[in-house]
Structure 1
Amino acid sequence: SGAAPRVDPRLLAEGIEASRRAAGAQASRLSPTAAPRQVPNEPVHQDGLRGLVERYWDNPLQLERVLIGQVQPGPLSPTEQAQLGRLLVEKHLSADRGRTLSRIGDEQRNYPNLARALGRSFQAGALTDGHLGYLLGPQGLGTSSRRGFEYTGIATLVAASGSPALQSTTATRSWELGAKQTERHAAVDFHTAAMRATGGSTEATQVLLQQAGPALIAAVDAVADLSRRAPVHPYTNRFSTALGTLLTGLSHLPSSQATNPVGARIVGHLSEQHLTAPALRKGFFDYLRSARTSRSWRGLGPASGNAFTQQELLTRFKDPAIRNHIVTEQYYRMSQALEELLPGQASWATFAVWASRQAGSAIRGEPLAGASGTNANGVRAISHGNTLGASEIAPLFGAFAQTLRSNPDASFQEVWRAAGAPNKPLLREAFQNYFEAYQLRRSGGGADAIAERVLVANTLVAQHEQTALQADIDSAMRVQGVSMWSLELDIPGRVLDLNEDLTGQFPPELRYLRNPRARQLEQQFGGWGDSRMESLFNLFRLNQRDAALHGDWVV
């Protein structure tokens, strides 16, 4: 295309200012930092705005400065920004059929206000479905040999627009165009753009699900197939980014026969290679998190209905940081399940959430108090111990809670059989105490008796874990100076240092222990020595009634 006509910035500023005055706005010169002012949307404004577009249409950095008010005549009003968005799209269509606009979309992270201006333009009705149809159709990008990348560039810009209406319309338009294609790669290009354009918003994802129906499963398969073949790059693998965006959107929707198969299909395709893409990594973690309330873990299984168990996910992903996220989320779900049965009591799983979260910091190489640094051996040791504890212990919490939720009158023998009845004496005794605490709560038993049994259970689970994982703990301590339970626990409101004396007042229910087993454990571990079990016993006793421990670990 030819060079854009040169416009004198001084004359352009004066032209817009005159337009405002003619429209009845307060007459005053705006500085670059002046606050935006609402002005009537009169045709007289178009000349000034069109001049801005003619000068800067292919210079997104300058357009960004215009939108944040760093260029005279100062900040544009929302109405002017909406009109600017429409004029900008029309200019790009006439200049090069939208190719430059698509390239701007590829670098959207640098131009957030430009993306939002397009959203405002669509919300105001200045930018229409007709513009989108022209841009994505044969008159626009449809004839490009690089249309797959260019569609995704536009979709990325739309995803960041903050306009669910624009996201929904673009996703719908892209899907419709994809359905008309006879050539597979062309269809996948449009379907990739449709997934990306949703921006992970609830509204746009729901619209795409309704429009695509069961065909979305086949589209996911095709996009996932190409994502494995595409170059592995965190930001340029448009297929992985599209899948991650769709997963994020699904995580906001409730469990249903429409959402679960699609989410499960994406999870079924994932590999560690995929999760190098930030959008897909985020989508995966968002979807795991959604399993807390809106879907069961079965919702993470393949479309056949078979569940992806936590162990299967851990087997698939070897990256320690990914595994730690899965483990911590599982601990959180188990903690919440036990808290439903024993309100106000922090179980071993509750404390494990924060210990695992802190272990994740060590795994990611973040600085930790009292640690000499992270190295590969330390990461492996902490990760292995963290994962092994979750694989062996977390399923017992799950079976315990699920059995009592479905049958509140179940006996302990029935509960333990449902958990697989492992030959682990300490764990069996621990869950017997959780069960007795649950029974006392149902029958109106005393708060002291309930709290004491939970303390016994927490201590016995910890004792089993410390014994079973001794090799990993020793390895982590040897090479790094830390382990999952020897770190500072950064819980909501304060930091608990397990390497120093734990101080404070015991809660009233646990100040004087009367339960014989609790008194025995107090004699064994109630001192203030250097052993991990002494630290853990006092950690549990001091904080078992702390409501802050039930907060969300994802911050």
Structure 2
Amino acid sequence: MHSPSMADIRRIALINNPVLRNVLITQSYYELSEIIMSRTGAVANWCTFATWASRQAGQSIRKEDLQRTLEARVDIKLLKEFQALIAIASEMGIGSSISVRLHALVKNSLFTSVVDRIGEAVAKGNKKVFEEIGFQFARFIAECFDNTEPDLQRCELFCREMLDGDPPDGQQYLKRAFTNYYMAFFERDEQLRLERLLLANLQIGFHEQTRLQPEILESLNAAFTGKDIFRKEVIDFLFPPGSWLSQVRFLYLKATGKTSRLEAAIDRLIMELQHLVRKQITAYLMTLNLPHESLLLSKDLQRTYPKVLSCLSYKDLVELMAKIDTTPESLKESGAEDWADLTDRMHFITELFRCYQFDEQLYEPAFKPEQVEAMKRGEVPMGRL
């Protein structure tokens, strides 16, 4: 198994093509996960989960399905706000074919710009996490992995290169996480070893999610940005700038106050579209596809805790669980009501990491061998990604 080096991480992070960069990030996480498991055995580490999260991110980066989902589930013509706008425009003598053309404008402008903004935000977050945490995993493997006996000084030297303090700026949780991974390599108490590994995963997860908060908000709120631009596009559509007669008419109607009803109708339509689109974006982004199942992140996990993790005793783990899991001994309310809320999000992730720590489906490759060969040549692979 190839072990991604620090130079590999830097090189991949600098790739401008977001689609190629994403598949290489996903594959690198898989490779890093396999290397870590060569020391821990078949126990999921943070990179194991990151493999599938990055693969899921690839759908948004490649702009797959979301535009079709918006078009299928947001029926513009049935909206009362759309019908009211058409009625007002008709009263003002703005053409009889406006309905079909305005419908096309919404699809081709609003939906497309929303999908583009989501793709950009997700790609930015995918790169941001990889070049920080992926790099630290590669450095950890290079500097601490070949010890056959614990060398705490070596681990401390490794951690010293990271920043003190809490996220988003500090890397204190990463220091603690890699220390727990390192100590787990040599831990003879099996219960403590497995709880240390869970703790390390959660510590990195907390750091990662805190760092990603801006990009997650940007993705979920993509429908609420660019409102003024879209509003201008609708007005320009109704009163084409290239037609001086149309512009004269618009200025006259505005001067006499007769455009107020039309502009208010445009704003009501935009507001309704924003709420409907945000609902669909949330549902789309709150899905995690694993090899043999799809998880809706808004739903409680339908699992039980692995027996060995059903009752936690390691002090540091219990303390962190109390901070990030509102129901530390139950899967009740594990579904995230609002993915933009860090506390809600971490509650779900905590339960996910705990329930799936020994799930063998997570250890499967994310891509076929021929796809890996293509991406290593610098090509976007063919087939389903």
- Residue number among 134, 148, 156 corresponding to 1:394 in the alignment: 134
Alignment partner of 1:496 is 2:309: no
Aligned to 1:363: 61
Deviation at 1:310, TM superposition (A): 2.1
- Please tell me whether the aligned partners of residues 403 and 410 of structure 1 are also in contact (alpha carbons under 8 angstroms): no
Q: How far apart, CA to CA, are the structure 2 residues paired with 1:471 and 1:541?
A: 26
**Alignment map for 1:207-286 (pairs within 5 Å):** none
Aligned to 2:103: none
Aligned to 1:457: 200
Aligned to 1:338: 36
Alignment partner of 1:434 is 2:181: yes
* Structure 1 letter corresponding to 2:157: R
- Please tell me whether the aligned partners of residues 486 and 532 of structure 1 are also in contact (alpha carbons under 8 angstroms): no
Q: How far apart, CA to CA, are the structure 1 residues paired with 2:9 and 2:59?
A: 21
Secondary structure of the corresponding residue to residue 381 of structure 1:
helix
Q: How far apart, CA to CA, are the structure 1 residues paired with 2:60 and 2:210?
A: 22
Structure 1 segments of 4 or more deviating over 6 A? none
Unaligned runs of 5+ in 1: 1-291, 299-306
- Please tell me whether the aligned partners of residues 324 and 360 of structure 1 are also in contact (alpha carbons under 8 angstroms): yes
- Please tell me whether the aligned partners of residues 341 and 401 of structure 1 are also in contact (alpha carbons under 8 angstroms): no
Q: How far apart, CA to CA, are the structure 1 residues paired with 2:152 and 2:127?
A: 27
TM-score (structure 2 length as normaliser)? 0.59
- Residue number among 490, 511, 516 corresponding to 2:310 in the alignment: 511
Rg larger for: 1
Aligned to 1:381: 121
* Structure 2 letter corresponding to 1:550: Y
Q: How far apart, CA to CA, are the structure 2 residues paired with 1:420 and 1:520?
A: 24
Q: How far apart, CA to CA, are the structure 1 residues paired with 2:138 and 2:175?
A: 14
Secondary structure of the corresponding residue to residue 490 of structure 1:
strand
Q: How far apart, CA to CA, are the structure 1 residues paired with 2:203 and 2:10?
A: 23
Secondary structure of the corresponding residue to residue 375 of structure 1:
helix
Q: Deviations over 1:64-107 (max 9, x none)?
A: xxxxxxxxxxxxxxxxxxxxxxxxxxxxxxxxxxxxxxxxxxxx
Aligned to 2:209: 466
Deviation at 1:333, TM superposition (A): 1.4
Flag the structure with more relative contact order, 1 or 2, with Cα contacts below 8 A and sequence separation at least 6: 2
- Residue number among 418, 425, 430 corresponding to 2:172 in the alignment: 425
* Structure 1 letter corresponding to 2:8: T
Q: Report the CA distance shift for 1:365/1:334 in structure 2 as closer, same or farther (over 3 A).
A: same
Secondary structure of the corresponding residue to residue 496 of structure 1:
strand
Q: How far apart, CA to CA, are the structure 1 residues paired with 2:28 and 2:313?
A: 33
Q: Report the CA distance shift for 1:368/1:349 in structure 2 as closer, same or farther (over 3 A).
A: farther
Aligned to 2:330: none
Note the aligned Cα RMSD (angstroms).
Answer: 2.7
- Please tell me whether the aligned partners of residues 22 and 123 of structure 2 are also in contact (alpha carbons under 8 angstroms): yes
- Residue number among 48, 52, 59 corresponding to 1:354 in the alignment: 52
- Please tell me whether the aligned partners of residues 337 and 398 of structure 1 are also in contact (alpha carbons under 8 angstroms): no
Alignment partner of 1:313 is 2:12: yes
Secondary structure of the corresponding residue to residue 489 of structure 1:
strand
Deviation at 1:308, TM superposition (A): 4.7
Q: How far apart, CA to CA, are the structure 2 residues paired with 1:553 and 1:368?
A: 21
Q: How far apart, CA to CA, are the structure 1 residues paired with 2:150 and 2:66?
A: 44
Aligned to 1:254: none
- Please tell me whether the aligned partners of residues 404 and 410 of structure 1 are also in contact (alpha carbons under 8 angstroms): no
Q: How far apart, CA to CA, are the structure 1 residues paired with 2:11 and 2:143?
A: 22
TM-score (structure 1 length as normaliser)? 0.42
Q: Report the CA distance shift for 1:491/1:454 in structure 2 as closer, same or farther (over 3 A).
A: same
* Structure 2 letter corresponding to 1:436: M
Q: How far apart, CA to CA, are the structure 2 residues paired with 1:549 and 1:388?
A: 23
- Please tell me whether the aligned partners of residues 155 and 179 of structure 2 are also in contact (alpha carbons under 8 angstroms): no
